[in-house]
Amino acid sequence: MAEVLRQKVLDALESVRPYLKADGGDVELVDIKEDGIVEVRLTGACVGCPMSQMTLRAGIERALMRDVPEIKRVEALG
């Protein structure tokens, strides 16, 4: 089951990746916690970008929660 969830999360991240790459950024999956929290790392131009929190919440988190109902929240690691 954990591998199925991981693949669903990876697929959802792929759906937002083109938008991040268009601005010189990217996202990588770090971990999926048992309580439904996904940890990601923003890379490239997303690092230090003042809009990164909005991108995380309005873009990445929204896409993940839409495509993977088991996900409760997305957190970015530094």
Q: What confidence tens digit (pLDDT) does each residue in 18-43 have? A: 999 999 999 999 999 999 999 999 99
Q: What CATH number does the domain located at 2-77 have?
A: 3.30.300.130
Q: Edge-to-edge, what's the strand order for the sheet holding 73-77?
A: 25-32, 37-44, 73-77
Burial (CB < 10 A; 0-12, 13-18, 19+), residue 20, is buried
- Residue 48 confidence (pLDDT): 86
pLDDT on residue 78: 78
Tell me the pLDDT tens digit for each residue of 58-72. 999 999 999 999 999
pLDDT at 1 exceeding the cut of 80: no
Q: pLDDT at position 73, please?
A: 96
